[in-house]
Structure 1
Amino acid sequence: MEDFENEVPQEVKLVVTEEMRSYFYDMSKWARFLSVVGFVVSAFLTLSSFGIGAAITANPAMLNQLGPLASIGATGITIFYLLLALLFFYPSLLLLRFSAKGKQGVLFGDQENLNDAIANAKSLFKFWGILTIVLLVSYFLLILAVAVSSVGIK
Protein backbone atom coordinates (compact mmCIF):
# COMPACT_ATOMS: atom_id res chain seq x y z
CA MET A 1 0.00 0.00 0.00
CA GLU A 2 1.17 3.46 -0.77
CA ASP A 3 1.48 6.08 1.91
CA PHE A 4 -0.65 8.93 0.52
CA GLU A 5 0.07 11.27 3.43
CA ASN A 6 3.78 11.52 2.63
CA GLU A 7 3.25 11.92 -1.08
CA VAL A 8 3.79 15.48 -2.35
CA PRO A 9 1.02 16.44 -4.77
CA GLN A 10 2.18 17.60 -8.16
CA GLU A 11 1.00 21.00 -9.32
CA VAL A 12 -1.97 20.56 -11.61
CA LYS A 13 -2.14 22.91 -14.58
CA LEU A 14 -5.54 23.54 -16.07
CA VAL A 15 -5.81 24.12 -19.77
CA VAL A 16 -8.22 26.78 -20.95
CA THR A 17 -9.22 25.99 -24.51
CA GLU A 18 -10.44 28.49 -27.08
CA GLU A 19 -13.91 26.98 -26.79
CA MET A 20 -13.89 27.63 -23.04
CA ARG A 21 -12.69 31.20 -23.61
CA SER A 22 -15.54 31.70 -26.07
CA TYR A 23 -18.06 30.40 -23.53
CA PHE A 24 -16.60 32.64 -20.84
CA TYR A 25 -16.77 35.65 -23.14
CA ASP A 26 -20.44 34.92 -23.93
CA MET A 27 -21.17 34.48 -20.21
CA SER A 28 -19.59 37.87 -19.58
CA LYS A 29 -21.86 39.54 -22.12
CA TRP A 30 -25.00 37.96 -20.65
CA ALA A 31 -23.85 38.79 -17.12
CA ARG A 32 -23.47 42.44 -18.11
CA PHE A 33 -26.98 42.46 -19.61
CA LEU A 34 -28.49 40.86 -16.49
CA SER A 35 -26.59 43.25 -14.21
CA VAL A 36 -27.90 46.29 -16.10
CA VAL A 37 -31.45 44.94 -15.87
CA GLY A 38 -30.93 44.34 -12.14
CA PHE A 39 -29.65 47.89 -11.64
CA VAL A 40 -32.68 49.30 -13.49
CA VAL A 41 -35.07 47.22 -11.37
CA SER A 42 -33.21 48.33 -8.25
CA ALA A 43 -33.48 51.99 -9.31
CA PHE A 44 -37.21 51.64 -10.00
CA LEU A 45 -37.75 49.98 -6.62
CA THR A 46 -35.82 52.76 -4.89
CA LEU A 47 -37.82 55.47 -6.64
CA SER A 48 -41.04 53.58 -5.97
CA SER A 49 -40.21 53.26 -2.29
CA PHE A 50 -40.05 57.00 -1.83
CA GLY A 51 -42.97 57.64 -4.18
CA ILE A 52 -45.30 55.18 -2.46
CA GLY A 53 -44.23 56.39 0.98
CA ALA A 54 -44.89 60.01 0.03
CA ALA A 55 -48.23 59.17 -1.61
CA ILE A 56 -49.42 57.29 1.47
CA THR A 57 -48.32 60.10 3.74
CA ALA A 58 -50.24 62.60 1.56
CA ASN A 59 -53.31 60.36 1.27
CA PRO A 60 -53.66 57.91 4.20
CA ALA A 61 -56.78 56.41 2.57
CA MET A 62 -54.43 54.58 0.17
CA LEU A 63 -53.42 52.27 3.00
CA ASN A 64 -56.77 50.50 2.64
CA GLN A 65 -55.84 49.44 -0.90
CA LEU A 66 -52.48 47.86 -0.02
CA GLY A 67 -53.80 44.75 1.67
CA PRO A 68 -51.36 43.04 4.04
CA LEU A 69 -48.71 45.76 3.63
CA ALA A 70 -51.09 48.35 5.07
CA SER A 71 -50.29 47.31 8.64
CA ILE A 72 -46.66 48.48 8.41
CA GLY A 73 -47.52 52.05 7.40
CA ALA A 74 -45.84 54.45 4.98
CA THR A 75 -42.39 54.26 6.58
CA GLY A 76 -42.54 50.48 6.72
CA ILE A 77 -43.47 50.27 3.05
CA THR A 78 -40.61 52.59 2.14
CA ILE A 79 -38.17 50.42 4.10
CA PHE A 80 -39.63 47.23 2.59
CA TYR A 81 -39.14 48.52 -0.96
CA LEU A 82 -35.63 49.76 -0.15
CA LEU A 83 -34.74 46.28 1.12
CA LEU A 84 -36.11 44.79 -2.10
CA ALA A 85 -33.99 47.27 -4.08
CA LEU A 86 -30.92 46.21 -2.11
CA LEU A 87 -31.82 42.57 -2.76
CA PHE A 88 -31.60 43.30 -6.50
CA PHE A 89 -28.61 45.65 -6.29
CA TYR A 90 -26.06 43.36 -4.62
CA PRO A 91 -26.31 40.41 -7.04
CA SER A 92 -26.35 42.87 -9.95
CA LEU A 93 -23.12 44.38 -8.65
CA LEU A 94 -21.54 40.93 -8.41
CA LEU A 95 -22.67 40.14 -11.95
CA LEU A 96 -21.21 43.40 -13.25
CA ARG A 97 -17.88 42.68 -11.56
CA PHE A 98 -17.92 39.12 -12.93
CA SER A 99 -18.62 40.45 -16.40
CA ALA A 100 -15.92 43.11 -16.39
CA LYS A 101 -13.21 40.94 -14.86
CA GLY A 102 -14.13 37.88 -16.93
CA LYS A 103 -14.06 39.82 -20.17
CA GLN A 104 -10.65 41.33 -19.31
CA GLY A 105 -9.30 37.95 -18.27
CA VAL A 106 -10.41 36.22 -21.45
CA LEU A 107 -9.48 38.96 -23.91
CA PHE A 108 -6.02 39.64 -22.50
CA GLY A 109 -5.20 36.26 -20.98
CA ASP A 110 -5.00 37.86 -17.53
CA GLN A 111 -5.09 35.17 -14.84
CA GLU A 112 -5.67 37.66 -11.99
CA ASN A 113 -8.81 39.10 -13.62
CA LEU A 114 -10.08 35.60 -14.39
CA ASN A 115 -9.55 34.64 -10.74
CA ASP A 116 -11.44 37.76 -9.62
CA ALA A 117 -14.28 36.93 -12.03
CA ILE A 118 -14.61 33.43 -10.61
CA ALA A 119 -14.50 34.84 -7.06
CA ASN A 120 -17.41 37.15 -7.92
CA ALA A 121 -19.34 34.25 -9.44
CA LYS A 122 -18.71 32.27 -6.23
CA SER A 123 -20.00 35.18 -4.15
CA LEU A 124 -23.09 35.45 -6.34
CA PHE A 125 -23.92 31.76 -5.96
CA LYS A 126 -23.24 31.93 -2.24
CA PHE A 127 -25.61 34.93 -1.92
CA TRP A 128 -28.41 33.14 -3.78
CA GLY A 129 -27.76 29.94 -1.84
CA ILE A 130 -28.04 31.69 1.52
CA LEU A 131 -31.13 33.60 0.36
CA THR A 132 -32.71 30.33 -0.81
CA ILE A 133 -32.01 28.68 2.56
CA VAL A 134 -33.52 31.67 4.40
CA LEU A 135 -36.64 31.56 2.21
CA LEU A 136 -37.06 27.79 2.58
CA VAL A 137 -36.73 28.03 6.37
CA SER A 138 -39.18 30.95 6.39
CA TYR A 139 -41.70 28.98 4.33
CA PHE A 140 -41.32 25.98 6.60
CA LEU A 141 -41.84 28.13 9.71
CA LEU A 142 -44.86 29.82 8.10
CA ILE A 143 -46.43 26.46 7.24
CA LEU A 144 -45.68 25.23 10.75
CA ALA A 145 -47.24 28.35 12.29
CA VAL A 146 -50.36 27.98 10.14
CA ALA A 147 -50.66 24.30 11.06
CA VAL A 148 -50.25 25.02 14.78
CA SER A 149 -52.71 27.92 14.70
CA SER A 150 -55.29 25.86 12.80
CA VAL A 151 -55.07 23.10 15.39
CA GLY A 152 -55.59 25.68 18.14
CA ILE A 153 -58.72 27.08 16.46
CA LYS A 154 -60.64 23.79 16.47
Structure 2
Amino acid sequence: MSTFEETNSAPNQNIHITINAFNYLKEVQKWTYFFSILGFIGIGAILIAAIVIGFTAPTKYADQSIFVVIGYIIMSIIYIFPVRYLFGFSRKLKRALLSEDEEQLELSFKNLKSHFKFVGVVTILMMCFYGFIFIISLLGVFHGFSL
Protein backbone atom coordinates (compact mmCIF):
# COMPACT_ATOMS: atom_id res chain seq x y z
CA MET A 1 0.00 0.00 0.00
CA SER A 2 1.41 3.39 -0.97
CA THR A 3 1.76 6.30 1.41
CA PHE A 4 -1.02 8.13 -0.42
CA GLU A 5 -3.44 5.26 0.05
CA GLU A 6 -2.54 4.89 3.73
CA THR A 7 -3.06 8.56 4.50
CA ASN A 8 -6.26 8.87 2.48
CA SER A 9 -7.93 5.52 3.15
CA ALA A 10 -9.72 6.70 6.30
CA PRO A 11 -11.32 10.13 5.98
CA ASN A 12 -11.21 12.50 8.91
CA GLN A 13 -14.46 11.87 10.79
CA ASN A 14 -13.91 14.81 13.13
CA ILE A 15 -14.73 17.67 10.77
CA HIS A 16 -17.34 19.99 12.23
CA ILE A 17 -19.02 22.91 10.50
CA THR A 18 -18.53 26.18 12.35
CA ILE A 19 -21.34 28.71 12.56
CA ASN A 20 -19.56 30.90 10.00
CA ALA A 21 -19.19 27.98 7.59
CA PHE A 22 -22.85 27.11 8.18
CA ASN A 23 -23.87 30.67 7.32
CA TYR A 24 -21.65 30.64 4.21
CA LEU A 25 -23.29 27.39 3.10
CA LYS A 26 -26.74 28.94 3.60
CA GLU A 27 -25.73 31.86 1.41
CA VAL A 28 -24.20 29.55 -1.21
CA GLN A 29 -27.44 27.55 -1.24
CA LYS A 30 -29.48 30.65 -2.02
CA TRP A 31 -27.17 31.77 -4.83
CA THR A 32 -26.94 28.33 -6.43
CA TYR A 33 -30.72 28.02 -6.29
CA PHE A 34 -31.03 31.44 -7.95
CA PHE A 35 -28.55 30.56 -10.71
CA SER A 36 -30.14 27.15 -11.31
CA ILE A 37 -33.56 28.78 -11.73
CA LEU A 38 -32.01 31.28 -14.15
CA GLY A 39 -30.51 28.32 -15.98
CA PHE A 40 -33.90 26.62 -16.31
CA ILE A 41 -35.39 29.90 -17.57
CA GLY A 42 -32.53 30.18 -20.08
CA ILE A 43 -33.15 26.64 -21.31
CA GLY A 44 -36.84 27.45 -21.71
CA ALA A 45 -35.96 30.61 -23.66
CA ILE A 46 -33.65 28.63 -25.95
CA LEU A 47 -36.38 26.07 -26.63
CA ILE A 48 -38.97 28.80 -27.26
CA ALA A 49 -36.54 30.47 -29.67
CA ALA A 50 -36.07 27.15 -31.45
CA ILE A 51 -39.84 26.72 -31.81
CA VAL A 52 -40.32 30.30 -33.02
CA ILE A 53 -37.51 29.97 -35.57
CA GLY A 54 -38.87 26.62 -36.70
CA PHE A 55 -42.37 27.92 -37.31
CA THR A 56 -41.68 31.45 -38.54
CA ALA A 57 -38.80 30.90 -40.95
CA PRO A 58 -39.72 31.84 -44.51
CA THR A 59 -40.20 28.79 -46.70
CA LYS A 60 -37.19 29.63 -48.86
CA TYR A 61 -34.99 29.44 -45.72
CA ALA A 62 -36.71 26.40 -44.18
CA ASP A 63 -33.82 24.09 -45.06
CA GLN A 64 -31.30 26.31 -43.28
CA SER A 65 -33.52 27.07 -40.28
CA ILE A 66 -33.79 23.38 -39.39
CA PHE A 67 -30.07 23.41 -38.58
CA VAL A 68 -30.56 26.37 -36.25
CA VAL A 69 -33.50 24.64 -34.57
CA ILE A 70 -31.53 21.40 -34.14
CA GLY A 71 -28.54 23.37 -32.82
CA TYR A 72 -30.71 25.14 -30.25
CA ILE A 73 -32.27 21.87 -29.13
CA ILE A 74 -28.84 20.23 -28.77
CA MET A 75 -27.59 23.27 -26.86
CA SER A 76 -30.53 23.09 -24.44
CA ILE A 77 -30.02 19.34 -23.91
CA ILE A 78 -26.35 19.90 -23.09
CA TYR A 79 -27.14 22.89 -20.87
CA ILE A 80 -29.70 21.04 -18.77
CA PHE A 81 -27.13 18.72 -17.16
CA PRO A 82 -25.04 21.32 -15.28
CA VAL A 83 -28.18 23.27 -14.35
CA ARG A 84 -29.81 20.13 -12.99
CA TYR A 85 -26.70 19.28 -10.95
CA LEU A 86 -26.57 22.82 -9.57
CA PHE A 87 -30.27 22.66 -8.69
CA GLY A 88 -29.74 19.28 -7.00
CA PHE A 89 -26.85 20.71 -5.00
CA SER A 90 -28.97 23.62 -3.85
CA ARG A 91 -32.01 21.55 -2.86
CA LYS A 92 -30.02 18.87 -1.05
CA LEU A 93 -27.85 21.46 0.70
CA LYS A 94 -30.98 23.24 1.93
CA ARG A 95 -32.37 19.95 3.28
CA ALA A 96 -29.02 19.14 4.90
CA LEU A 97 -28.79 22.52 6.60
CA LEU A 98 -32.39 22.47 7.84
CA SER A 99 -32.26 18.93 9.21
CA GLU A 100 -28.52 18.75 9.96
CA ASP A 101 -28.45 15.58 7.85
CA GLU A 102 -24.91 14.54 6.89
CA GLU A 103 -26.17 12.17 4.18
CA GLN A 104 -27.98 15.03 2.42
CA LEU A 105 -24.86 17.18 2.78
CA GLU A 106 -22.81 14.44 1.15
CA LEU A 107 -25.34 14.08 -1.68
CA SER A 108 -25.36 17.83 -2.20
CA PHE A 109 -21.58 17.89 -2.62
CA LYS A 110 -21.83 14.92 -4.98
CA ASN A 111 -24.12 17.06 -7.17
CA LEU A 112 -21.70 19.98 -6.95
CA LYS A 113 -18.83 17.70 -8.00
CA SER A 114 -20.89 16.44 -10.95
CA HIS A 115 -21.71 20.01 -11.94
CA PHE A 116 -18.09 21.10 -12.05
CA LYS A 117 -16.96 17.85 -13.67
CA PHE A 118 -19.48 18.31 -16.48
CA VAL A 119 -18.61 21.99 -16.93
CA GLY A 120 -14.90 21.11 -16.93
CA VAL A 121 -15.26 18.39 -19.57
CA VAL A 122 -17.38 20.63 -21.80
CA THR A 123 -14.86 23.46 -21.37
CA ILE A 124 -11.98 21.19 -22.39
CA LEU A 125 -13.94 19.92 -25.40
CA MET A 126 -14.79 23.47 -26.48
CA MET A 127 -11.17 24.59 -26.11
CA CYS A 128 -10.10 21.66 -28.31
CA PHE A 129 -12.80 22.56 -30.83
CA TYR A 130 -11.68 26.21 -30.89
CA GLY A 131 -8.07 25.10 -31.32
CA PHE A 132 -9.10 22.87 -34.21
CA ILE A 133 -11.00 25.73 -35.86
CA PHE A 134 -7.99 28.03 -35.34
CA ILE A 135 -5.66 25.52 -37.03
CA ILE A 136 -8.09 25.03 -39.92
CA SER A 137 -8.34 28.82 -40.29
CA LEU A 138 -4.55 29.16 -40.38
CA LEU A 139 -4.33 26.44 -43.01
CA GLY A 140 -6.92 28.31 -45.07
CA VAL A 141 -4.96 31.56 -44.76
CA PHE A 142 -1.69 29.89 -45.75
CA HIS A 143 -3.43 28.16 -48.64
CA GLY A 144 -4.79 31.55 -49.76
CA PHE A 145 -1.30 33.07 -49.74
CA SER A 146 0.06 30.23 -51.86
CA LEU A 147 -2.43 30.89 -54.67
- 2:111 aligned with 1:153: no
3-state SS of paired residue (1:140): helix
Residue 77 (1) aligns with residue 68 (2):
yes
| Structure 1 unpaired stretches of 5+ | 64-69
- The sequence identity of aligned pairs, in percent, is 24
The residue aligned with 1:107 is 98
Point out where structure 2 has 5 or more consecutive residues left out of the alignment: none
Secondary structure of the 1:16 match is coil
> Take 2:10 and 2:25, find their aligned partners in 1: how far apart are those partners?
27
Distance between the aligned counterparts of 1:145 and 1:60, measured in 2? 33
Partner AA of 1:95 in structure 2:
L
The 1:11–1:148 alpha-carbon spacing in structure 2 relative to 1, beyond 3 Å, is closer
Q: Number of paired residues?
A: 141
Q: Quote the residue 2:59 is aligned against.
A: 60
In 2, Cα distance between the equivalents of 1:89 and 1:138?
Answer: 21
Question: Do residues 49 (structure 1) and 78 (structure 2) align?
Answer: no
Taking the aligned partners of 2:36 and 2:18, their CA distance within structure 1 comes to 27
User: Distance in 2 between the 1:40 and 1:76 partners?
Assistant: 23
Aligned partner of 1:131 among 113, 122, 128: 122
The 3 A distance-change label for structure 1 pair 34 and 146 is same
Query: How far apart are residue 10 of structure 1 and its match?
Result: 6.2
Between 1 and 2, higher relative CO (CA 8 Å, sep ≥ 6) is seen in: 1
Shift of 1:11: 5.3
* RMSD (Å) for aligned C-alpha atoms: 2.3
Name the aligned partner's letter for residue 94 of structure 2: K
